[in-house]
Amino acid sequence: MALATFGAGCFWGVEETFRQVPGVINTTVGYMGGTLENPTYEDVCTDRTGHAEVVQIEYNPEQVSYLDLLDIFWNNHNPTTLNRQGPDVGTQYRSVIFYHNEEQKKLAEASKEKMDKSGRWKNPIVTEITPASTFWRAEEYHQRYLQKRGLDSCHI
């Protein structure tokens, strides 16, 4: 098994998107990239902790590749809006790829360059690519939030 961690706005919809992918074994929503130890949702929402809302994905690389996961990431949010996805605004909603090894870093950077040159978006991609740090699991009520409510997507 392998890990991938992405931030692409509100983690509820991002989790549901990746949860549906064959080869994804488990998804967990949480916080990464900030300075506060053991942050809560309320802490992260202050926009002062530096954390992003993320989905950590456990996947089987024999069934789904990291490149496949990157394609899903790029195609399910707007990577050109700084600290924003739809109506959600703040650094916790930033577009970010947290890589877990040098191979993921290389693939993420190449993928970002390819997407930026594709002409799909009018504005440049602002997605951060940064080393994974401590993953803080979000509160239980955030886990599989949409699935628990019988929904398959958010407002975006």
Catalytic annotation, pick one of 3, 8, 10, 138? 10
Pairing state between β 95-99 and 128-131: parallel
What is the enclosing helix (H) or strand (E) of 11? helix 11-19
Determine the Cα–Cα distance for residues 82 and 42; give it in Å rounded to an integer: 21
**Phi, psi of 71, rounded to the nearest 5 degrees:** -60, -45
Told to judge if 45 belongs to the known catalytic residues of this protein, a careful annotator would answer no
Tokens of 8: 């692409």
> Which residues are annotated as catalytic?
10
